[in-house]
Structure 1
Amino acid sequence: MSKSDQLRIDAQELAQAWSRTLPSVLDASDQAKVWPDEAESNVLRVHITTAGRSLYSFDFKCTYVDSREVRVELVDVERDNHAVDERTDIIQTLVDDYVRHLHECAQQLHALTTR
């Protein structure tokens, strides 16, 4: 990351902006929590709970590579507070959708992260 393209926003402010923006790109019935990583100032942690009876929850690590690019990694998937096999088709489909939504959220916040 070049010095000129570093993330220049307070991690707490960025997490709050994500918290406001993420619901607009998720399904209305999904719930999300966003908070800054305690160890890395360019990382946000995102917990998404699916709606309905499936009771899936997903944890993601969103790392700002620079002021524009976000790398999204799946950390964990649980169903009703129990670990599940992340390789199933339904889980992979949900993960792909959420990763896309997380990138959409980051894109909507470019004006904030590139200032």
Structure 2
Amino acid sequence: LHNHHFHGVLYSCLNNSLKHGDSMHSAPPPDTLAIFAWILADLPQYRQPQEIYEDTINIQGDPGSNGSCAIVAHNFIEYCIADDVPQWTAGSAASFRDQALTELIAYHCLAENSE
């Protein structure tokens, strides 16, 4: 979260890189590398990334797609990891929000019944 806006950032330990995706196509927050350096400081098996690569991500802004930055950031990470995850588009914003709400309700119900 940076300036009330969510960005997607994915660390790859295979090639020691950070991928950044933003639904407003803005630059990553200036402290991103420092944050990952802090996260990885006590994990000597992982090297700290030295640069951030921009990745392709659809832009929000069409009617009905505003306010989707958290869902787009989450989708960016899922999409980078799994081949079978559809990529968010402005036209699919409502269905992605519905899916997130459905998953949140299902999680809540499972958590309530697990005690």
TM score, norm. by length of structure 2 = 0.29
| Bigger-Rg structure (1/2) | 2
Name whichever structure is richer in strand by fraction: 1
